[in-house]
Amino acid sequence: MNNYCLPSPAKINLSLYITGRKTNGYCNLQTVIQFINYNDIIDITLNKNNIISLSSNVSKIVSQNNLVIKAAKLLKYFCLKNKSKNKYFGVHIKINKIIPIGSGLGGASSNAATVLLILNKVWRCNLTLFDIAKIGLLIGTDVPLFIYGHAAIIEGIGDINTPVSLKERWYVVIVPPIEISTTMIFSCIKSNNYSTIKNHKKLLSETYYNDFESIVIKKFPIIKKYISWLSQYVPARLTGTGSCIFAECNDQEIAYSILFNKPNKAKGFVAKSKNISPLHSIFKNKKIFSY
């Protein structure tokens, strides 16, 4: 079999705190994350020409700087270094992009992680999840979360992962008509944005909050308008460092009724949170991808 087609799921940050900055400039974070059943589709076709290529239904993401290209090239390097028995490392990767770009839903990191997990198997690299996560961290701080595939408390620069099992709930997600650069938002962090590190029990029991929300609102006032609109129905907050706003609903019907009334310029969807990544749920039923 030379073709593989699998989901690349989104995530939501139930909470997100900035706890400091390292001397190398990287920020320490503390966040609680679940997956949602909303995803891109990654289609991988192996070839024998040893060329790694990319295409997508969204043309502007197709470049050598795309995280999936970086992921595939890094994995190829590690496979060759470890003298993999695989002879060919050519692959064409097609991304059917559903997750909005710059939304805070982790689409790019998820894409990279999905590619690493699939290619590790089909290229017979034989790396463990721990090893793949180390490669993923070189690409982005969210990548290891998607590699391990379980809801978690993520700390440090994304290198500390503590799996948690939380109640799976329905969410309405509003997508404002803007994209927000994670790099730009991180450059706006100041020491007065820092929060104190919480123990895990307190972190999970307190009302969730996102330290980046005030930073994003200051740069993009339109986000405050959408948060205010959604909050008239249920408490709403930002996810990640992007533009998406989400709110917990008691059931699917309520979530859809809120979505039906969304502002005209906004897009949105309803999704259920998942403790196990939809990708990893499929892995359990496909022998070739067993981890």
Each residue's pLDDT tens digit, 8-18 = 999 999 999 99
Distance, CA of 60 to CA of 51 (rounded, Å): 21
Across the range 66-84, mean pLDDT stands at 88
Predicted TM-score of the model (pTM): 0.94
Q: Give the whole-number percent of the chain exceeding pLDDT 70.
A: 98
For each of the domains in the chain, give its residue range(s) and CATH number, in order of start.
3-164+277-289 (3.30.230.10), 170-274 (3.30.70.890)
Q: Maximum distance among all alpha carbons in the chain?
A: 58
Each residue's pLDDT tens digit, 160-176 = 999 999 999 999 999 99
Query: What DSSP assignment string belongs to 233-251?
Result: TS-EEE-TTSS-EEEEESS
83 has pLDDT over 70:
no
The predicted pLDDT at position 265 comes to 86
Residue labelled with tokens 């609109």: 229
Among 103-112, 176-185, 224-233, the range scoring the smallest mean pLDDT is 176-185
33 has pLDDT over 90:
yes
Of 279, 36, 28, the closest CA to residue 160 belongs to 28
List active site positions: 11, 142
23 has pLDDT over 80:
no
Residue labelled with tokens 């100041």: 190
CB-based contact 87:127 (threshold 8 Å): no
Distance, CA of 201 to CA of 94 (rounded, Å): 41
Each residue's pLDDT tens digit, 113-169 = 999 999 999 888 889 999 999 999 999 999 999 999 999 999 999 999 999 999 999
Residue labelled with tokens 């992962």: 161
- The neighbouring-strand residues paired with 140 are none
